[in-house]
Amino acid sequence: MIRCNLVVAYPEGVSEHWAVITNEPPTLKTLHEYALRFRVEELFLDSKSGAFELEDSRLRNAKSIERLYLIAALTLLYSTAQGMAVQVAGLRSSVDPHWNRGLSYLKIGINWLKGVIHKGRELLTPIQALPCIPRTLFCFQKNPSRYKLWDMVFSHLFLGVQTLILLPST
């Protein structure tokens, strides 16, 4: 016999009720952890659904694949940030007329970016994910002469947060 708990929740603003079977205690923390897990699974589904069709690249060189995945990760981050900004700005219906079908922020963002290219829409200012500017990385504080500092290269790209990109000097 396996012992488990059934947690049923009715989150505000959500049309579907939650029913979670878990071996964890039936607490709000457990529901919060499952909500985080559902987000990760949505991201996994988005990446497997061929949003970028990485499998079709036919690359075999490890460095080339690494670069491709870096570009895909940055694109995923920026597109998701645009999707979140579309939602916050109340513009979702312009890119997702059937909004109740559950498009992810990534797909909403990709649709918005297509509109930027083809319909002349404006890029939205991404919402800030971090509440403050991150502290300088420890490795830079310890030995700054070993690193080149690219300050704010991707500041708009990374959700409006000042980002420090550190590369070892060559």
Least confident window among 13-22, 99-108, 127-136: 127-136
Distance CA 142, CA 145 (A): 9
First and final C-alpha spacing in the chain? 61
Burial class from Cβ neighbours inside 10 Å (0-12, 13-18, 19+) for residue 126 reads buried
β-bridge partners, 167: 148
Q: Are 165 and 147 in contact (CB under 8 A)?
A: no
Distance CA 138, CA 78 (A): 26
Distance CA 66, CA 71 (A): 9
pTM of the predicted protein model: 0.54
Quickly state the pLDDT bin for 169 (edges 50, 70, 90): very low
More confidently predicted of 42 and 64: 64
In this prediction, residue 115 carries a pLDDT of: 94
